[in-house]
Amino acid sequence: MTNKIFNRYFELIFWITAMVCLAFTNPAGHSHFSLCPLKLLGFGWCPGCGLGHSISYLFRGDVRGSFHAHWLGIPAVAIILYRIYSLIKRKHVFTDMQKQEL
Q: What is the pLDDT of residues 52-99, one digit of tens each?
A: 889 999 999 999 999 999 999 999 999 999 999 999 988 765 565 556
Rounded-to-integer distance, Cα 4 and Cα 98, Å: 15
Q: Say what the pTM is.
A: 0.76
End-to-end CA distance of the chain: 19
| CA-wise closest residue to 81 among 59, 57, 48 | 59
Q: What is the pLDDT of residues 21-58, one digit of tens each?
A: 999 988 887 655 667 788 788 887 787 888 988 999 99
Q: Could you say which DSSP state residue 25 is in? A: S
